[in-house]
Amino acid sequence: MRPRAMTKLTFGAAAATLGLLATLAPTADAHQPSGHKPELKRIGYFTQWGIYGRNFQVKDLETSGTAAKLSHINYAFGVVGSDGKCLMGNAPGSDPWADYVRPVDAATSVDGVGDTADQRLAGNFNELRELKAKNPGLKVMISLGGWSGSAHFSDAVRTEAGRKTLVASCIDTYIKGNLPVDGARGGAGAAAGIFDGVDLDWEWPGSEGNPGNGIRPEDKPNFTKLVREFRTQLDTYGRSLKKRKHYELSAYVPTAPAKIDAGFEVSKIMRDFDFVNLQGYDFHVSGEKTTAQQSALFARNDFSVDQTVNAWLRRGAPAHKLVVGMPFYGQGWTGVTGGGDGLGQPATGPAPATWTAGSEDYKFLKVLADSGTYKLHRGYRNGHAWLFDGTTLWTYDDPTVLRTKASYVRQNRLGGAMVWSLDGDTPDGELITAIDRGLTRR
């Protein structure tokens, strides 16, 4: 990886207190008018499947105080099927039961009223509707694809007809809310008004993602055309309503310059996107043979948040449309040898974890940090943290790191912060509170 050009920026007294002796600023944004101070976004992914093992319900966003600190919820994920359409039902990753069929009892419901057998909308979708009623400024986006759900994008968008069909089907299902009938649930307009836009999570156009994904060189221009088609159809539908509405359009986009160049005509797509969410984590993962940082703010000759921001700015993205991704989980290795603080040392494999080896929610890492068994290390200059007990290492973001990153976003007039995923936070919303305070100077 080539070293990038770097310039210095001083964060001021708050960052200096955290030990950031000197930091690196992204280059100036020629697209952003002088004096532009947009509201900083606070975006959180809610995982459809989190209601099961993790027992993380939509109501938890209200009781933790998280919903009041968010501007957007990205619902993960909508499915693009092998037929090139957004679909719900008989397809891997689709779970209508979780989305709108499952009855939610009074104790688990946002409004304290249990679902009845004859209502057309139940499940997560109805709970999101109730959450929006309690938080009128909150927007909900449907995220399409994801790591294991991007297999069919390339095939679906090869032709103009295919793109029009895909976009129309997604708008029909999620924006118009026309759901398949399942007993008393679903039907025309059953989910209307829940989703305020579309988030494209194609991982990745033109380059490798999950094994088995369709990939072709023409993904790059086809992605641009797909974005244009979404923008056109969303605007057309929004203007057709009695009370006109702007439906937002965003995407999750990569950190690696090679992946950016393989799949994204940056200057073109940014005209149609309201914002993009930058990959700010998984710079290194537990499947690698050597321990490393997964989400550092700065790093020399390595992936980092700052490197990602600069990569998008240099390719023509306006700063105020760049939202920085932040993890609510850590990457972990075990069998670490070599001594020291454990970073940059060989390991035998992913660390044991609650749900998936090598990946652990922050709420569980906090318990480890407080146990006295692990020592907390900080890369103050680089803006990251890790735990090491002599054998097992976890690299993650804690409140101190997140406040620093939020200050970076604010000082450099970026678009805000995005988190994956909300179910990794503590029951009292410790991490989202740190981000909120960092973005608002509190």
Q: What percent of the chain has pLDDT over 70?
A: 91
Residue 17 has pLDDT above 80, yes or no: no
Q: Go through the domains of the chain in sequence order and give each one's CATH number.
A: 30-329+398-439 (3.20.20.80)
Q: What's the pLDDT band for 89 if we cut at 50, 70, 90? A: confident
**Catalytic hit among 203, 229, 248, 360:** 203
The CA distance from 411 to 254, in Å, is 22
CA distances for 20 relative to 9, 24, 307, 364, 427, angstroms: 10, 10, 17, 27, 30
Residue 19 has pLDDT above 70, yes or no: no
Reading the block at residue 44, the tokens are 């959180």
**Alpha-helix runs per DSSP H in 264-418:** 266-272, 305-314, 362-370, 399-411
Question: Catalytic annotation on 203?
Answer: yes
By DSSP bridging, strand 139-145 and strand 41-47 are: unpaired
Residue 2 has pLDDT above 90, yes or no: no
> Is the pTM higher than 0.85?
yes
Q: What's the pLDDT band for 26 if we cut at 50, 70, 90? A: low
List the one residue out of 202, 309, 313 whose CA is nearest residue 267. 313
What pLDDT digit, counting tens, does each position of 173-209 carry?
A: 999 999 999 999 999 999 999 999 999 999 999 999 9
Dihedral angle over CA of 439, 360, 18, 293, nearest 10? -110
Q: What's the pLDDT band for 305 if we cut at 50, 70, 90? A: very high
**Alpha-helix runs per DSSP H in 1-57:** 13-17
The 10 Å Cβ neighbour count of residue 188 is 12
